[in-house]
């Protein structure tokens, strides 16, 4: 049997981090019941489009892997295997589509072999490997349109497929939507568009992507929502908050005490953007060069700016965000035969090899291959007689509410498929409870019982299990007992 990095069997793998567990559980729910499962939300705030019951990243990833899992199955260890398959297929597409020469193929092998973020997250249920696969496919398409002086390198079918891939990527992760700009600029002759109209159409599609994404994804309490809330209260207060956030992120961007892996990837992103700036400044009159720079600016430039403005530069957050776009830029540079620049990027990867090994052993592989799961088995045994998906109930009745301390515990993976998970940090921010079930600590219960009729069922390893009482739920309590 295959061995995991810790010596445990690969089939003993299980997701550990809260984002992973949510990703795994959403796929399990889609596999079982499609869009009819419970809600995955924060503070019981669902997506505006009623059919989407999925978390703040929307339904694309759980739906895609959920459909695949109906064919190949979905076990705790399935995601790393599917990650490897998706990345391998995307590389096969890139090679077949771009037909690199021998030196390019050698550089491609070195870039992929030293793509540390991809290798780290390959062994997780995070979405990074999926986005790396998308980045490789997009790099293949852009490599063809960059070297296409007359706009005829791609057939109409291939060009339409390219646009659909960008649209699919955009509703999977919003920042991919900025690639509409180089797409329409590269192919504007095929679409009979002026430069101004190509930019205008791209801008419209970016806005449309943002609107659609926010309609499909459940709201999430992050800095962007905090900034919008503050803007509603005070314009000057919002400006001060934004400037403070930007200053903090800029400081973190160059913080020398951070991991070498993070610092190197940030430096490599800046190197790519510096190269794109050079092309725009010195070679903007050469079609292939400005096309190359437009991909880098739209992909890496927009992401760096938005990360500093609205996201977080610390921990692994910006690292996993930059990884797929950096891979896209690297492959575009390979296709353009920028050997010196690509060589420098590879050298940078090799310089942080010791930190990659340490991160792999101490952060990413650690604890993922337990041979025994007594606590998980106990939790499943405790809740399975009570919590079951019921297709005759509403989505909220098939949802469990938990505090953040429970939501980040990997044991929640034992909640039955089809049951959605909604979490909260502050119980006083929840109006009348909508979820059919809840696992609560004493403090959360003391507050929520004032607004809700909660029926205690039993104690579990994660906290006290309650059912939100109404006529239907009461009937379920009696049957379970």
| Alpha-carbon gap, residue 399 to 415, rounded angstroms | 10
Based on the domain organization, do 308 and 389 belong to the same domain? no
Residue 150: per-residue pLDDT: 53
Residue 463 dihedral angles phi and psi, to the nearest 5°: 140, -175
Q: What is the dihedral of CA 171, 411, 371, 130, to 10 degrees?
A: 0
Tell me the mean pLDDT in the region 63-87: 95
Please report whether residue 67 resides in a domain: no
Greater pLDDT, 152 or 355: 355
| Alpha-carbon gap, residue 299 to 307, rounded angstroms | 12
Counting the structural domains of the chain, the total is 2
Confidence of residue 6 (pLDDT cuts 50, 70, 90): very low
Please report whether residue 38 resides in a domain: no
Domain C-terminal end among 308, 337, 364: 364
Based on the domain organization, do 105 and 164 belong to the same domain? yes
pLDDT digits (tens, 9 = 90+) for 264-275: 999 999 999 999
- Cβ(451)–Cβ(432) under 8 Å? yes
This prediction has a pTM of 0.92
| Helical residues (DSSP H) of 10-77, grouped into ranges | 18-33, 60-72
First CA to last CA across the chain, in angstroms?
42
Q: What is the dihedral of CA 321, 203, 331, 359, to 10 degrees?
A: 0
Please report whether residue 8 resides in a domain: no
| Radius of gyration of the chain from its Cα atoms, rounded to whole angstroms | 24
Residue 478: per-residue pLDDT: 39
- Has residue 1 got a pLDDT over 50? no
- Has residue 458 got a pLDDT over 80? yes
Based on the domain organization, do 308 and 240 belong to the same domain? yes
Based on the domain organization, do 156 and 109 belong to the same domain? yes
Based on the domain organization, do 329 and 469 belong to the same domain? no
- Has residue 198 got a pLDDT over 70? yes
Please report whether residue 461 resides in a domain: yes
Residue with tokens 């890496």: 300
| Alpha-carbon gap, residue 300 to 305, rounded angstroms | 9
pLDDT digits (tens, 9 = 90+) for 83-123: 999 999 999 999 999 999 999 999 999 999 999 999 999 99
- Has residue 242 got a pLDDT over 90? yes
Based on the domain organization, do 425 and 327 belong to the same domain? no
The secondary structure of 325-368 as a DSSP string is HHHHHHHHHHHTT-HHHHHHHHHHHHHTHHHHHHHIIIIISTTS
Based on the domain organization, do 183 and 144 belong to the same domain? yes
Domain C-terminal end among 337, 364, 391: 364
pLDDT digits (tens, 9 = 90+) for 290-342: 999 999 999 999 999 999 999 999 889 999 999 999 999 999 999 999 999 99
Based on the domain organization, do 398 and 435 belong to the same domain? yes
Please report whether residue 54 resides in a domain: no
Share of the chain above pLDDT 90, in %: 81
What are 449's two structure tokens? 């019982």
For residue 314, the enclosing domain spans 79-364
Confidence of residue 355 (pLDDT cuts 50, 70, 90): very high
Based on the domain organization, do 283 and 195 belong to the same domain? yes
Query: How many residues can be counted in the chain?
Result: 481
Based on the domain organization, do 354 and 381 belong to the same domain? no
pLDDT digits (tens, 9 = 90+) for 424-435: 999 988 878 999
Based on the domain organization, do 360 and 397 belong to the same domain? no
- Has residue 477 got a pLDDT over 50? no
Residue 349: per-residue pLDDT: 97
Q: Give the dihedral sign, CA 469/472/477/478.
A: positive
Containing H/E element for 423? Answer: strand 420-424
Tell me the mean pLDDT in the region 58-76: 95
Geometric angle at alpha carbon 133, from 90 and 115, rounded to 5°: 105
| Alpha-carbon gap, residue 134 to 170, rounded angstroms | 11
Instruction: State the average pLDDT for the chain.
Output: 92
Tell me the mean pLDDT in the region 346-361: 96
Residue 470: per-residue pLDDT: 63
Tell me the mean pLDDT in the region 237-245: 93
- Has residue 236 got a pLDDT over 60? yes
| Residue 211: closest CA among 49, 62, 35 | 49
Strand order in the sheet with 454-460: 41-42, 420-424, 399-403, 437-440, 463-468, 454-460
Residue 230: per-residue pLDDT: 87
| Alpha-carbon gap, residue 94 to 86, rounded angstroms | 12
Residue 149: per-residue pLDDT: 57
Burial (0-12, 13-18, 19+ Cβ within 10 Å), 143: buried
Please report whether residue 7 resides in a domain: no
Residues in a beta bridge with 438: 401, 466
Based on the domain organization, do 296 and 379 belong to the same domain? no
Confidence of residue 451 (pLDDT cuts 50, 70, 90): confident
| Alpha-carbon gap, residue 108 to 469, rounded angstroms | 59
| Alpha-carbon gap, residue 27 to 59, rounded angstroms | 9
- Cβ(143)–Cβ(346) under 8 Å? no
Residue 13 dihedral angles phi and psi, to the nearest 5°: -55, 145
Three-state DSSP at 43 gives: coil
Please report whether residue 25 resides in a domain: no
Tell me the mean pLDDT in the region 276-296: 91
Domain C-terminal end among 340, 364, 388: 364
| Residue 76: closest CA among 120, 31, 6, 21 | 21
152-160, Cβ contacts within 8 angstroms, sequence gap of 24 or more: 152/190, 154/187, 156/190, 159/187, 159/190
Please report whether residue 213 resides in a domain: yes
pLDDT digits (tens, 9 = 90+) for 363-400: 998 888 877 788 999 999 999 999 999 999 999 999 99
Give Dmax (Cα) for the chain: 77
Tell me the mean pLDDT in the region 24-52: 96
| Helical residues (DSSP H) of 147-222, grouped into ranges | 156-172, 180-186, 195-216
- Has residue 66 got a pLDDT over 70? yes
Q: Are strands 399-403 and 420-424 parallel, antiparallel or unpaired?
A: parallel
Q: Which residues contact 192 (CB under 8 A, 6 or more apart)?
A: none
């Amino acid at each position: 049997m295959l061995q995991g990095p810790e010596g445990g069997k690969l089939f003993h793998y299980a997701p550990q981090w809260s984002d992973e567990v949510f990703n795994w559980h959403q796929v399990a729910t889609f596999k079982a019941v499609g869009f009819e499962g419970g809600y995955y939300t924060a503070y019981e705030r669902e997506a505006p489009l009623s059919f989407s019951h999925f978390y703040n990243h929307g339904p694309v990833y759980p739906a895609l892997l959920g459909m695949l899992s109906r064919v190949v199955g979905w076990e705790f260890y399935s995601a790393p295997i599917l990650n490897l398959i998706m990345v391998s297929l995307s590389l096969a597409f890139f090679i077949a589509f771009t037909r690199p020469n021998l030196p390019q193929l050698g550089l491609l092998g070195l870039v992929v072999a030293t793509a540390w973020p991809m290798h780290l997250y390959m062994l997780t249920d995070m979405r990074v490997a999926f986005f790396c696969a998308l980045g490789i496919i997009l790099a293949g398409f852009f490599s063809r349109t960059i070297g296409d002086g007359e706009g005829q390198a791609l057939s109409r079918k291939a060009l339409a497929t390219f646009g659909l891939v960008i649209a699919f990527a955009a509703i999977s992760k919003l920042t991919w939507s900025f690639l509409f700009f180089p797409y329409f600029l590269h192919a504007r002759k095929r679409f009979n568009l002026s430069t101004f109209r190509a930019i205008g159409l791209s801008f419209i599609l970016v806005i449309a992507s943002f609107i659609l994404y926010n309609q499909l994804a459940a709201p999430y309490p992050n800095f962007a929502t905090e900034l919008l809330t503050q803007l509603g209260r005070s314009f000057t207060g919002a400006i001060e908050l934004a400037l403070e956030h930007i200053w903090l992120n800029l400081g973190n961007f160059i913080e020398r005490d951070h991991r070498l892996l993070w610092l190197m990837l940030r430096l490599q992103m800046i190197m790519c953007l510096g190269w794109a700036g050079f092309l725009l400044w010195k070679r903007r009159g050469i079609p292939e060069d400005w096309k190359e720079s437009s991909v880098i600016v739209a992909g890496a430039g927009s992401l760096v700016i938005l990360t500093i403005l609205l996201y977080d530069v610390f921990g692994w957050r910006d690292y996993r965000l930059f990884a797929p776009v950096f891979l896209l830029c690297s492959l575009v540079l390979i296709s353009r035969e920028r050997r010196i620049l690509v060589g420098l990027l590879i050298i940078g990867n090799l310089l942080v090899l010791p930190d990659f090994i340490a991160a792999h052993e101490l952060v990413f592989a650690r604890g993922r291959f337990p041979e025994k799961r007594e606590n998980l088995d106990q939790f499943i045994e405790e809740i399975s007689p009570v919590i079951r998906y019921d297709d005759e109930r509403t989505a909220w009745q098939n949802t469990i509410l938990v505090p953040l301390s429970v939501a980040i515990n990997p044991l929640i993976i034992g909640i039955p498929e089809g049951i959605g998970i909604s979490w909260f940090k502050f119980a006083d921010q929840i109006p009348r409870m909508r979820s059919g079930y809840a696992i609560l600590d004493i403090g959360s219960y003391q507050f929520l019982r004032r607004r809700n009729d909660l029926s205690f069922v039993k104690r579990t390893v994660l906290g006290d299990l309650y059912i939100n009482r109404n006529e239907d739920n009461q009937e379920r309590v009696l049957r379970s007992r």
